């Protein structure tokens, strides 16, 4: 969705590249420490991913409002 490389996610999250590679290549539920999953989730949310729970769990890109300035400017 974001079209970012594993290295960029590692840099943004503080999670090692090897851990991200292991998580991505392992089928099924994520097998990682809660702190690791939290770091990844925070990094993805900061990049524009929205996680949903409830009746239809999933992920989507957050809608950007017109005229909303990028905070990195």
For the stretch 15-73, pLDDT in tens is 999 999 999 999 998 889 999 999 999 999 999 998 888 777 778 788 665 554 444 44
Position 13 in a domain: yes
Place of tokens 């409002």: 65
Per the structure, the complete domain to which residue 15 belongs is given by 6-61
Res 73: pLDDT: 43
Entry pTM? 0.76
What's the number of domains the chain is made of?
Answer: 1
Report if residue 16 sits inside a domain.
yes
Residues 50/61, Cβ–Cβ less than 8 Å: yes
């Amino acid at each position: 969705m974001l079209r970012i490389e594993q290295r960029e996610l590692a840099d943004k999250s503080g999670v090692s590249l090897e851990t991200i590679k292991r998580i991505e290549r392992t089928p099924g539920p994520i097998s990682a420490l809660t702190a690791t999953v939290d770091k990844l989730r925070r990094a993805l949310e900061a990049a524009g991913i929205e996680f949903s729970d409830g009746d239809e769990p999933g992920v989507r890109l957050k809608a950007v409002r017109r005229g909303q300035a990028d905070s990195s400017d």
